[in-house]
């Protein structure tokens, strides 16, 4: 397998992974109690979780290295913000495991985007 194919494979894996993260966050939000607080937190959470993948796609279409780095920084920032909202949202007992899994995934995505930034310097 050539290096280009490996890079392309990794690119799509992360694109798929960020898409799955956003979908899983939406599923969690759809299963949370509809309190005033949760509704506000849910809006923020869905925006930040979706923004991770959207900015990753933008990064891969960037016109310059500077633009790429800026988009990856946004991905990392949005993954961190998602973790914050995931910790705040009030889940019913049966969805606490999914909440913890998503918090872990946001941690991993933050680290991945941090590593991409380090390699891009």
Distance, first Cα to last Cα, the chain: 26
User: Looking at the whole model, is its pTM more than 0.75?
Assistant: yes
User: For residue 31, what is the DSSP state?
Assistant: T
Of 12, 21, 6, 24, which Cα lies nearest the Cα of 52? 21
Banded pLDDT at 1 (limits 50, 70, 90): very low
Domain coordinates in residue numbering, the chain = 3-120
Note the pLDDT of residue 121: 81
The SS3 of residue 29 is helix
Superfamily, domain 3-120 = 23S rRNA-intervening sequence (1.20.1440.60)
Banded pLDDT at 71 (limits 50, 70, 90): very high
For range 91-120, the mean pLDDT: 96
Q: What average pLDDT does the chain have? A: 92
Note the pLDDT of residue 50: 98
Q: Encoding tokens for residue 92? A: 């019913």
Banded pLDDT at 72 (limits 50, 70, 90): very high
């Amino acid at each position: 397998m050539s290096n280009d194919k490996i890079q392309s494979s990794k690119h799509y894996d992360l694109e798929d992974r960020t898409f799955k993260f956003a979908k899983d966050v939406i599923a969690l939000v759809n299963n949370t109690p509809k309190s005033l607080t949760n509704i506000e937190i849910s809006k923020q959470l869905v925006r930040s979780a979706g923004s991770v993948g959207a900015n990753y796609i933008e990064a891969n279409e960037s016109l310059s290295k500077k633009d790429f780095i800026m988009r990856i920084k946004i991905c990392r920032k949005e993954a961190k913000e998602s973790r914050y909202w995931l910790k705040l949202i009030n889940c019913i007992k049966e969805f606490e495991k999914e909440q913890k899994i998503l918090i872990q995934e946001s941690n991993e995505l933050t680290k991945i985007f941090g590593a991409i930034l380090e390699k891009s310097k």
